[in-house]
Amino acid sequence: MRHHIQTKSFLERGGFGLLALVALIIFVFDVLPALRLLLAALFPGGVFNPDAMLSALSSRSALRAAQASLETALWSTLLALPLGTAMVLVLGITDIRGRRIASFLFVLSVMISPQVIALAFLHLVGPASPILNTLGLAPEAGSANPMLGRGGIILVLGLHHAPLVYVVMSAGLKRIPLAVTEAARIDGAQPWRILTDHVLPLLRPHLVSAALLAFVAGIGNFGIPALLGAPVNYLTLPVLIYRRLSSFGTGMIGDVSALGLLVAAIALVCVGASQFLTRKDGVHLEDDAPVKPFWFLGSARIGVEILVGLVLAVTLVLPILSLLASALVPSYGMALSFTTITLDNFIEVLARQDVTIRAFTNSLLYAGGAAFLLALIVVPIAYGLIRLMGRWRILAISLLEISYVLPGIVLAIACILLFLKPLPLLGFSLYATPWIIVFAYLARFLSVALKPVLAGMVQIDVAQEEAAAIDGARLTQRLFGIVLPSLLPAAVAGGLMAFLLAFSELTVSALLWSAGTETIGVVLYNLEEAGLASQASAVAIVIIGVVTITMLILDALGRYLPAGALPWQCETDNELRMSTKPFHAPARARTINQLEPKPALGA
C-alpha cells in the first residue's frame, strides 16, 4: 500500500500543467474543428435550422454523389480486402524470399499520394499512353480512356487501399502468439489447416476492421475521384464539396458543412466499430513471441514469389513507369524512343516555372514545419497520456484520432469555419495564409506522429523515474533527463511519418490554398486539369522520389524504434532462417523438445 501511495504521488507531482497542456492540444486540434463543423451544419447563419441541413443532404446532386461515394468505396473495398490479406499471409506465414523488400514496396504504394497514383493509371492506359504507344498497343485515337469513370475509380481505389488492409492485418498477425501455431504443429496439423482453423479465426476482427478502414478511406478520398471521375461528371461527395465551395465561395458554407458532416459521420462510425473490434479480439502476446512463418512452400516458392512480384508490378512499378514515360516525352501522347526522350519537363518544373518551384518550397516548409512541431510535442503528450491520464487515457487517445479519421476535405471545411473571421482578442485571420495549412497538417497528422512515441512510452520502466523523483528531480527534469533520450528516435520517426503524408497531400490543401501558398499536390492537380500532362508527370516523379527517400530514412531508423512502429517492418531472410526451420509432417508422438524450431520459442 505504501508503494502504491508513493507511486501515485510521484505521478501527480508537477503533472497538472502537463495534463492541462495535453487537454488543450486535444481540444484545439481535434474537438474544436469537429464542434465548429457541427455548429455550422445545424446553425447556418447563426440560427438553428435543421431543415436547411436536411435540404442540403436530400438534394438531387447530394444523393447522386452519396451513391457514387458509397458504391466506389464498397466495390474498391471488396478488391482491396482479398489482395491486402493475401499479401499479409504470403509475407507473414510462408518462407518466400525478399519479404522485407516486398513489404517496403507494397506499403510505399499507399504512401504515395492518391492523386499521383490516379495520374499514373490515367497515363498508363488510353489512346495517349506513351508506354502503349511505344509498344504499339494503344487504343484507337479519340477513344475514351478506360480509367475515367466509375470502373477506373473502383480499380485504382482498390489497388491503392490494399496496402492499408495489409498494414491492419499485419498488425493483427503480429498479435497472434507463436504458441498457437506451435501447438497445432505438435499435433501434426498441416499448414493449410493451421491457417484455416487457427490463424484466420483469430484474424477475423482485424479482417472486419481492415474492411471498415478501407471503406472509410474510399469514402473520404478526393484525389482519385477528382482526376478520374470529375472529367466525366461522376462526382463523389468530397469532389462535390470541393466544386461547390470553389465555385460559389463561402456563401455555400452551410450546405458544404452539412455534406461534410455526412461524410464525417460515416467515417467516425466505421472507425469506431473498427477500434472496438480490434480491442475486443482477446488475443494478447504477453511474453510469447509473435507467430513465425510456418508454411514452407518447397518447389512452389518460386511461383508464389512471381505472383508477389506481379502484385508489386501492378500496384507500384507500372504506375511509376507510366509517369516516367509521360515525363520523358516532349508532349503527352508521343511514343517514348531514343529520339523523343527529353528532360525538358523536369527542367521546366524544377527550374523555370515559378509556381512549381514555389509549390515545392511551400510543401517542404509547411510539411517540414508541421513535422518538426509535432516531433517536439509528441513526447510530453505521450508522457501525459501514459503516466498521468489514468482511466481517461482511452478517451483522450480516441479524441486525438478525430482529425485524422475525418476525411481531409471535411477537416479543411472545419479550418475555414474556424479561421475565416479574425481570431478573438488577436484581431487577425489565418484564412488565406500559410498558417491555416500548417494548422490543418498539425491537426490531421498529430495521431500519426504520436503512435511510435506511445509504443515506446509504454516500454519505459517507471522505476527509473521513481528513483529520480525520490532524489528530488522535478517533472521537467525527469521528462528531459530520462524519458526524452529514450523516446527521441520514436519522436523523429513520428515527425518523418507526418512529413511523408503531408508533403504531397491534396485533400486538405485543395480548399485551403491561396495565391502564393500553393502546395505541390495542388499544383500537380492544376497541371493535369490544364492539359499539361507531361509536366504533371514530372512533378509526380519528383514527389515519389521525396517519399521514397523519406521512407528509406525511416527504415534506417527502424532498429532504434519499438516493434511495430513502422508499418512495413518484417523479418529479413537471415532473421527468418535463424528463427525457424522447415517442419516436415511430425508424428503426433513427437515431444516439444524434439520439435523444430527450438530457437523461436525463446525469441
> Closest Cα to residue 448, out of 201, 167, 143?
167
The pLDDT tens digits of the residues spanning 471-505 come to: 777 777 788 888 888 888 889 989 999 999 999 99
pLDDT for 42: 82
Mean of the per-residue pLDDT values of the chain: 84
Cα distance between residue 236 and residue 73, in whole Å: 10
- DSSP tag of 597: P
Q: Please state which architecture CATH assigns to domain 12-49+344-408+418-570.
A: Orthogonal Bundle (1.10)
CB atoms within 10 A of CB 104: 20
Cα distance between residue 75 and residue 69, in whole Å: 10
Cα distance between residue 595 and residue 186, in whole Å: 7
Helical H segments across 125-199, by residue range: 130-135, 150-174, 178-186, 191-194
Query: C-alpha distances in angstroms, 445 versus 219, 374, 402, 485?
Result: 19, 8, 11, 23
Superfamily name with CATH number, domain 59-342+572-603? MetI-like (1.10.3720.10)
Query: C-alpha distances in angstroms, 210 versus 105, 111, 166, 245, 424?
Result: 19, 17, 8, 32, 42
| pLDDT mean for each 10 residues of the chain (603 residues) | 44 69 92 88 77 82 92 95 95 91 93 92 87 82 87 96 92 86 86 90 89 90 93 92 78 79 83 69 55 88 94 93 92 84 93 93 95 93 86 83 84 90 82 93 93 85 78 78 86 92 90 91 92 92 94 87 75 55 44 36 30
| CA dihedral sign of residues 295, 108, 555, 559 | negative
pLDDT for 14: 56
Residues of the chain above pLDDT 70, percent? 89
Cα distance between residue 372 and residue 413, in whole Å: 25
Cα distance between residue 472 and residue 91, in whole Å: 50
Distance of CA 274 to the CA centre of its chain: 15
Non-local (6+) Cβ contacts of 236 within 8 A are 65, 68, 69, 72, 153, 221, 225, 229
The pLDDT tens digits of the residues spanning 127-179 come to: 888 888 888 887 887 788 899 999 999 999 999 999 999 998 998 888 888 88
CB atoms within 10 A of CB 476: 12
Cα distance between residue 514 and residue 499, in whole Å: 21
pLDDT for 571: 62
239 close to 226: Cβ distance less than 8 angstroms: yes
Q: Which three cell numbers stand for residue 157?
A: 481505389
Cα distance between residue 321 and residue 324, in whole Å: 5
pLDDT for 144: 85
The pLDDT tens digits of the residues spanning 395-415 come to: 888 888 888 888 888 899 899
Return the H-helix or E-strand segment holding 260: helix 253-279
Q: Which three cell numbers stand for residue 124?
A: 498508363
pLDDT for 8: 46
User: Could you state, in order of their start, the residue ranges of all structural domains in the chain?
Assistant: 12-49+344-408+418-570, 59-342+572-603
The pLDDT tens digits of the residues spanning 326-358 come to: 999 998 878 888 888 999 999 999 999 999 999
Cα distance between residue 24 and residue 53, in whole Å: 30
Specify the 3-state DSSP secondary structure of 194: helix
Non-local (6+) Cβ contacts of 239 within 8 A are 65, 222, 225, 226, 229, 230
